[in-house]
Structure 1
Amino acid sequence: MPPAKPAEDDSNRRKNSVINAIQSLGQTNVPQLESNIHCLSVIGQIEGHLVMPPQNKTTKYEHVIPQIVAAEQNPKIDGMIILLNTVGGDVEAGLAIAEMIATMSKPTVSIVLGGGHSIGVPIAVAAQRSFIAETATMTIHPVRLTGLVIGVPQTFEYLERMQERVTKFVSSHSHITEEKFKELMFRTGDLARDIGTNVIGADAVEYGLIDQVGGISSAIKELNAMIEARKQEILQ
């Protein structure tokens, strides 16, 4: 049998590419665009030092941190947009991600889509400008531990210090005061079988937690404006 022609090889490669795209993404055409904006998604539960069950949708912090470093170093990337739809997760992993976003030199914009709960709140406010969809929610509640807890004063002091870390970070990177944040955190009657507050869309802006209500177009428009302003500053 004669060898396959180059045209046939190209056709087979295209077919395999289409099949892979359908299996992976559920679509036949994957848009190819050279963008100067890096999109960082925080989806599902933020996984820290403990591996979550395989059925859980997770964002692994050891995958996210290298992306942030790469976006900061890559000269072709001018800014980063953070998309959040998370139930929260590991406190220290979430704070590590939030600290890295907050200390980037390039413009950053976050947008809460669906939900940005628990430790997702510090990540949302870590960006230089934050948005929330009109129907998106953010659950604010105290830090809690799972598993074996040693009932000694040191354990409660540790929880209190961790809680202070979260409170101070959120208040220093948003327009909400520590007092108001703690009030929302320890409010009773708002959540079933728990304490805390479920904040929706415009309420998050009213409290000073998020800067603006808006969708993806508003967030990208704001990020592009910040990128242009930064370029002008560099040129001066």
Structure 2
Amino acid sequence: MNHLFGSTAKNQEPEAPQVQPDTDKKVPAASDIIQQLGQTAVPTQGESNVYCLTIIGQIEGHLVLPPQNKTTKYEHLIPQLVAAEQNPRIEGLLIILNTVGGDVEAGLAIAEMIASLSKPTVTVVIGGGHSIGVPIAVAADYSFIAESATMTIHPIRMTGLVIGVPQTFEYIEKMQERVVRFVTAHSKIPEDTFKELMFKTGELNRDIGTAVGGNDAVKYGLIDGIGGIGEGLAKLNSLIESRKSEQAAGGITQ
């Protein structure tokens, strides 16, 4: 004898199973994004019209650095910049730098991407913007530096196996010129002044170059002004409004 528990009819069809919501597709928590990318939100999720991008520690390029190094991975920054450029809700980018430098080609790639963005950009150097961090700092439409921050300008250096042939030195010289051309093209510092600071001896311990403070960076024309987060956001909002006015005058809609 078959018993139907809780049924009112002998031939009642069993209830269809309830579809459970897909729990695999969860929105990543802010703590996870901070751990992976150093960001509080990815460009597609934020409510603000300004996207903040942080570049801290050492810029990691084609080689993975030891785990004890604080690094910014360029393969994380590039898709974020692309996403910010594509997102219509993002109207401007604020880039915060506190970096010791790192991989030359990775740093130049980041700098070129920032310079090629169609949306207004402002960089703020806090703590330090050393070595290849210099091109990134000047890549934006406007740059600020904290008065207590410094920027170390020195020739590029190579690690690992170096083949002692003339072609190696020519390659280093060409890469050096790439850095010089980019910095002088995106700032007000003359090329002769920049090279003089780069190859100066006696100032840096065990190295050639110059440590430039905040006020001196502005004096040389390397950075546009002294300021921090407040000044950077104020300038960025001003650039955003100017862009909107130009688009309205030209009949351009986004």
TM norm structure 1:
0.87
Question: Is the radius of gyration larger for structure 1 or structure 2?
Answer: 2
Offset at 1:34?
1.8
Tell me what 1:116 maps to: 129
Equivalent residue letter for 2:59: I
- Counterpart mapping for 1:122-201 below 5 A: 122-201=135-214
- Structure 2 stretches lacking a partner, 5+ long: 1-28, 250-254
Alignment RMSD, CA only?
1.7
Deviations 1:88-126 (A, max 9, x none): 000000000000000111000000000000000000000
Offset at 1:33?
6.8
Looking at structure 2, the residues matched to 73 and 126 of structure 1 have their Cα atoms a distance apart, in angstroms, of 19
Looking at structure 2, the residues matched to 67 and 206 of structure 1 have their Cα atoms a distance apart, in angstroms, of 33
* SS of equivalent residue, structure 1 residue 88: strand
**Identity of counterpart residues, as a percentage?**
71
Q: Does 1:106 align with 2:119?
A: yes
Runs of 4 or more consecutive aligned structure 1 residues displaced over 3 Å after TM superposition: 30-33
Which residue, 222, 236, 240 being the options, matches 1:209? 222
* SS of equivalent residue, structure 2 residue 93: strand
* SS of equivalent residue, structure 1 residue 130: strand
Task: State the aligned residue count.
Answer: 212
Tell me what 1:222 maps to: 235
Looking at structure 2, the residues matched to 181 and 33 of structure 1 have their Cα atoms a distance apart, in angstroms, of 39
- Compare the two structures and name the one with the higher helix fraction: 1
Tell me what 2:248 maps to: 235
Q: Does 1:87 align with 2:119?
A: no
Looking at structure 2, the residues matched to 174 and 157 of structure 1 have their Cα atoms a distance apart, in angstroms, of 26
Looking at structure 1, the residues matched to 46 and 158 of structure 2 have their Cα atoms a distance apart, in angstroms, of 43
Tell me what 1:4 maps to: none
Q: Does 1:57 align with 2:70?
A: yes
